[in-house]
Amino acid sequence: MPWTRDQMAERAAKELQDGFYVNLGIGMPTLVANHIGEDIDVTLQSENGMLGMGPFPTEDEVDADLINAGKQTITELKRTSYFSSADSFGMIRGGHIDLSVLGAMEVAENGDIANWMIPGKMVKGMGGAMDLVAGVKRIIVLMDHTNKAGESKFLKACSLPLTGKNVVDMIVSDLGVFRRLDHDSPFQLIELAPGVTEEEVRSKTEAHYEVAL
């Protein structure tokens, strides 16, 4: 059985280490917050100007001045700090954030990522995605292995406009996990979801990768 979205988030959460500052992208990556181990201490950054993001508020705690980058109401923690958008992206661009988990439309075998634009359709904008992939120390992509038409999203080369070139370090899909040791190395398939075979992954993957199960 391929992993569910929640199981994918759970797998990505295993990459978080004690003391990390982490930025979680909008959508599926936000689920990663639900799976952070109790034995590790992680500080979540929200690029609209907050370090130390807490859980959703109770009805009584809702505060219009306190939202995350997905524009959801949230709460603060004892460690929380607030700052400007310029300081926030100083943290991101300046390499102070340890890890970011992002969604993607396409990832290429050379580490390119496309996740902001489909030409000819409505373009919503890249938001902070280009800054995150350019500046954060380690980038994990959380995405379905194939698109709605059943085509591979892990490709030889991205067909959509890029968000960043050679920036992805790990892919967690519903079928398994790919990792590479550095930005000059090829991706390796290191893990399969339960019941998923290497043959199934190969048949649904256009990109070249090594197998290191």
Partner 1 sequence: MADKVYANAAAALEGLTVDGITVMAGGFGLCGIPEKLIAALRDSGAKDLTCISNNAGVDDFGLGLLLRTRQIKKMISSYVGENKEFERQYLGGELELEFNPQGTLAERCRAGGAGIPGFYTKTGVGTLVAEGKEHKEFGGETYILETGLVADVALVKAWKADPYGNLVYRKTAQNFNSVMATAGKVTIAEVEELVGPGELDPDRIDTPGIFVQRLIVGQGYEKRIEQRTVREAA
- Indicate which single residue of 27, 57, 103, 186 sits in contact with partner 1 (rule: CB under 8 A): 57
Q: Is there binding between residue 43 and partner 1 (CB under 8 A)?
A: no
**Residue 52 in the binding site for partner 1 (CB under 8 A):** no
Taking the least distance from each CB to partner 1, the nearer of 139 and 172 is 139
For residue 202, report the phi and psi dihedrals to the nearest 5 degrees.
Answer: -60, -40
The closest of 55, 130, 145, 76 to 100, measured between CA atoms, is 130
Report the first-to-last Cα separation within the chain, whole angstroms.
Answer: 18
Q: Does 205 bind partner 1 (CB under 8 A)?
A: no
The amino acid occupying position 105 is: M
- Is position 109 annotated as part of the catalytic site? no
Give one DSSP letter per residue of 9-39, joined into a string.
HHHHHTT--TT-EEEEPSSGGGGGGGG--TT
Task: Kindly state whether residue 48 participates in binding partner 1, applying the rule CB under 8 A.
Answer: yes
- Write down the catalytic residue from 10, 15, 38, 47: 47
Instruction: State the amino acid at position 140 in one-letter form.
Output: I
Maximum Cα–Cα distance across the chain:
52
Contact with partner 1 (CB under 8 A): which of 128, 152, 168, 209? 128
15 binds partner 1 (CB under 8 A): no
Catalytic residues: 47
Q: Which residues bind partner 1 (CB under 8 A)?
A: 46-50, 55-60, 62-74, 76, 82-86, 88-89, 92-93, 112, 117, 122-131, 134-135, 161-166
